[in-house]
Amino acid sequence: MDTSTSTHSLAELPPEILYMIFDFLDMNTLKSVSETCHHLNDSFSHYYCGRFMLNIRLDKVSSRESPYNAEYAVKRILQSKRCYRKVHLPVHDSWFDPNHHMYSIMYRVLLGDWSNQLVVLILEMDETTELCGATITTALHHMDHLKELRFLHTHEWNYPIQIFLSNLVVENHTLELLELEVVVPAMIHCRKLRQLIVSPHLDAETQFGKQYAQHGEAEPFWKLKHLEEFTLKRAFGERPNLTEHRPGYRCKLYEHLTKLTKLHFHASGVSEKFLQSICKSCVLLEDLFIFSLQTVDSNVLARCLSNLTHLRRLGIWRITTPHPISFASINAPKLEQLTLGRVDVVWESVEQLRSLKSLSIIPYFHNALRIPESFAKHVKQIESQNKRVLYATAFHHYEFDEAFQELRI
């Protein structure tokens, strides 16, 4: 069979069969197949433009020898007939881009025919993006299928940066996930926003909480009351924030986030007073992770977590306390997964958590010395009931975070 006959036979296959064949091909072969005829090109575009992310990279100092030559990238993107649904786009000012290559790409992606097809948009930004706020604001307002938006810092910086864009407004009626790693928008108006991820160095909690302290129930700048998931992430090269023992504005924020079901503190410390405020307001929480908890009361978990009757997953990397923490008297009837790091625990009290189905322990010297025989028997009982027990040996909290994310019930 010659090449033309093979191509013709392949093109006659149903789309479902073609997609299965595509999945077994490497990228170079896929590109070759997509260029053989219009039908295969259309099939490739329809299938993969919705699955793959177009990662656009531009050198600030472009050269013909560069694999990310800006002029070449602009030419290919402007000539392309494909509409990608997932795009990773670098954004910087024209001072580094005298030929306006980046603006040409921004127009095609954000304001051209691609904008109405975008589902995921990642904007990689640095300290030179002050002039782009208006363009991004206008584009977001007209994107009718956008589900995920991330403002990330460029990999050229090995430390957290913060950009101030007074004209950046995130207003979109379909957006469900928003990640803020370098900038806090002047306004956030997204009625379907469910998940918000923020880097702690932006101090967004304080800014959001100050809004409620000054305006009561009103939300003139950031509409966040309908959030279901809130995460303080740990950025690359960033040290965890010190525990704030008078978190006034932060408490104001969580007093209004009453619909939260997931709350993760991967970087900032949590004081006893702050935890009490959270558990008093966010009573619908099902998933709680705390990187660092500071308390003098060994029964703080019993006092606070008993308000969280829907809690299913609890993870704590470290607790600073003069006495071992007790889980006795905790009213958490749905708690199924417990993950503990560098935490001194009264192990007998863990036996009272009868609903546990998954237990993850990261042992260290002081903890291991206190594990009694009765607790070992309790662990065996959990295992005998086909429930999950994990004895982790990782000591770094990055690995602990990953273990906590993977242990889904």
The tens digit of pLDDT for each residue in 56-101 reads: 876 654 444 454 566 676 777 777 777 788 999 888 765 555 556 6
- For the chain, the average pLDDT equals 80
> In the Cβ-directed half-sphere of 259, how many Cα atoms lie within 13 Å?
9
- Residue 303 falls inside a structural domain: yes
Q: What is the mean pLDDT of residues 191-207?
A: 94
At 369, the pLDDT band (50, 70, 90 cuts) reads low
Residue 13's pLDDT is what? 76
Which pLDDT does position 316 carry in this prediction? Answer: 93
Q: Classify residue 276: in a domain, yes or no.
A: no
Which of the listed ranges 7-16, 87-96, 184-193 does the model predict with the highest average pLDDT? 184-193
Helix (H) or strand (E) holding 33: helix 27-34
**For residues 73 and 102, what is the distance between their CA atoms, to the nearest angstrom?**
10
| pLDDT interval class at 408 (50, 70, 90) | very low
Is residue 124 included in any domain, yes or no?
A: no
What is the count of structural domains for the chain?
2
Are 234 and 266 in contact by the 8 Å Cβ rule? The answer is: yes
Backbone φ and ψ for 260, nearest 5 degrees, come out as -65, 135
**Residue 140 belongs to a domain:** no
Average the pLDDT over 269-295 and give the result. 93
Beta strands in 136-242 (DSSP E): 148-153, 169-171, 177-180, 187-189, 195-198, 229-232
Residue 317 lies in a domain: yes
Confidence of residue 9 (pLDDT cuts 50, 70, 90): low
Q: Which pLDDT score, from 0 to 100, does residue 95 have?
A: 54
Max CA distance (Å), the chain? 79
Can you tell me the distance from the alpha carbon of 361 to that of 193, in angstroms, rounded to the nearest whole number? Answer: 34
Higher per-residue pLDDT: 330 or 34: 330
pLDDT of 245 strictly over 80 = no
62-67 long-range contacts (CB < 8 A, ≥24 apart) are: 62/99, 62/101
Domain around 18? 12-52
In the chain, the amino acid numbered 395 is F
Q: What is the pLDDT of residue 28?
A: 80
pLDDT at residue 1 in the model: 45
Of 169 and 100, more confident: 169
Mean pLDDT, range 331-335, rounded to an integer: 91
Mean pLDDT is highest, among 64-68, 154-158, 293-297, for: 293-297
Q: Where is pLDDT greater, at 301 or 238?
A: 301
Instruction: Give the pLDDT score at 395.
Output: 43
pLDDT interval class at 128 (50, 70, 90):
low
253 within some domain: no
Does 113 reside within a domain? no
- pLDDT band, residue 236 (cuts 50/70/90): low
> Is residue 39 a part of any domain in this protein?
yes
pLDDT exceeding 70 applies to what percent of the chain?
75
Instruction: Work out the angle at residue 354's Cα, subtended by the Cα atoms of residues 380 and 393, and round it to the nearest 5 degrees.
Output: 50
